[in-house]
């Protein structure tokens, strides 16, 4: 079940992408991990595979603080793509200011948020929650 969950990470921090991906792998949370260092590149990908739901991830981890196109700007553009597949978006940041939290509530497509670095316990809990939901969805 878990194996089929596709996960995508958008973060400009190379080390974080590496570490986060490795965590996910060690938890056997996913078989398919896709990473982007810039949100424009990710946006291009989603635009291209807009209708190919099998290629699209189930879960998206999105950094808020990125140069050029930040996390929230990405979401704005992403929502306009009009995807038919339901993708869970988790936003993350090393510092979630009050302003950030207010913004989080503005976007319906955001499932949840957490501060970086994400602890192993939080990650475990997140993964089990995700796979449970996926199971429910599939049954």
Binding site for another protein (CB under 8 A): 13-16, 18-20, 22-23, 26, 38, 65, 67-68, 70, 73, 94-95, 97, 115-118
Nearer to another protein, 11 or 88 (CB): 11
| CA nearest neighbour of 42 among 16, 24, 68, 4 | 68
What tokens were used for 116? 């970086």
Least distance between another protein and beta carbon 126 (Å): 15
- Between the alpha carbon of residue 8 and those of residues 97, 98, 99, 102, 108, the distances in Å are 24, 26, 25, 24, 19
DSSP state of 51: T
Nearer to another protein, 38 or 55 (CB): 38
Nearer to another protein, 5 or 39 (CB): 39
C-alpha to C-alpha distance for 66 and 68, rounded to whole angstroms: 7
Least distance between another protein and beta carbon 55 (Å): 26
Nearer to another protein, 46 or 72 (CB): 72
Reduced to 3 states, what is the DSSP secondary structure of residue 16?
helix
DSSP state of 2: G
């Amino acid at each position: 079940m878990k194996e089929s969950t596709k996960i995508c990470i958008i973060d400009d921090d190379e080390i974080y992408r590496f570490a986060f991906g490795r965590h996910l792998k060690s938890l056997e949370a996913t078989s398919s991990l896709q990473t982007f260092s810039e949100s424009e590149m990710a946006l291009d990908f989603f635009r291209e595979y807009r209708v190919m739901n099998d290629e699209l991830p189930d879960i998206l981890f999105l950094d808020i603080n990125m140069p050029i196109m930040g996390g929230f700007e990405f979401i704005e553009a992403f929502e306009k793509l009009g995807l038919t597949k339901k993708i869970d978006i988790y936003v993350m940041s090393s510092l979630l200011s009050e302003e950030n939290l207010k913004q989080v509530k503005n976007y319906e497509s955001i499932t949840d948020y957490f501060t970086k670095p994400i602890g192993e316990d939080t990650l475990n809990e997140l993964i089990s929650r995700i796979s449970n939901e996926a199971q429910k969805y599939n049954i």
